[in-house]
Amino acid sequence: DLTGKRILLTGASSGIGEAAAEKLARRGARVVVVARRGDLLDDLVTRITAAGGDARAHACDLADLDAVDSLVDTVEKDLGGIDILVNNAGRSIRRPLEESLDRWHDVERTMTLNYYGPLRLIRGLAPGMLARKDGHIINVSTWGVKTESPPLFGVYNASKAALSAVSRNIETEWADRGVRSTTLYYPLVKTPMIAPTRAYDGLPGLSAEEA
């Protein structure tokens, strides 16, 4: 039962996050939607509240770790904590490893957005969950970390592998203290994030609603 549950969902301005926010709100959750695009978040909140749901928006770039800390402080003050954290936001890079390493700023931003940002949210919100002996952390990963190193995704898969490892540790270390974790290893999902990559055209994939 999600009625009254405080759920913070990142990457909520489009794709999987947007679809999930609307579904969770319909099930009675109090949804906190987070992404960089505040205008898109405001549109989402308007739709959710018009349908009778409970939602609030917080624009935040998860690659800015100070901004992530401020987000945690605001949410803790306004809501008294979060029951379920969904680390959905992500950045994908499809590029040969040699080219990726030559574009170091892309490597750093991918690691920060896909790993450090989610970890910072966990660091900020988990203490409250542990104190209440109740919480759930859901981390969105990719099927690529469970395969034999598919080419062109070395940096992206490395960032998601790091998050997946922490996600599994949460389950082994905190489950007996009431905080559980789930890792979602998604296949290809047709979202705005992959739209610019023509190589995906025509390939089978899930819709955001299916994911």
Closest CA relative to residue 123, chosen from 50, 53, 68, 52 = 68
Beta strands in the chain (DSSP E): 6-10, 30-35, 54-59, 84-87, 135-142, 179-186, 189-190, 206-207
Tokens 């070395």: give the residue. Answer: 154
Q: At what angle do helices 65-79 and 117-132 cross, to 10 degrees?
A: 30
Exactly one of 115, 116, 156, 186 is catalytic; name it.
156
156 part of the active site: yes
Catalytic site positions: 156
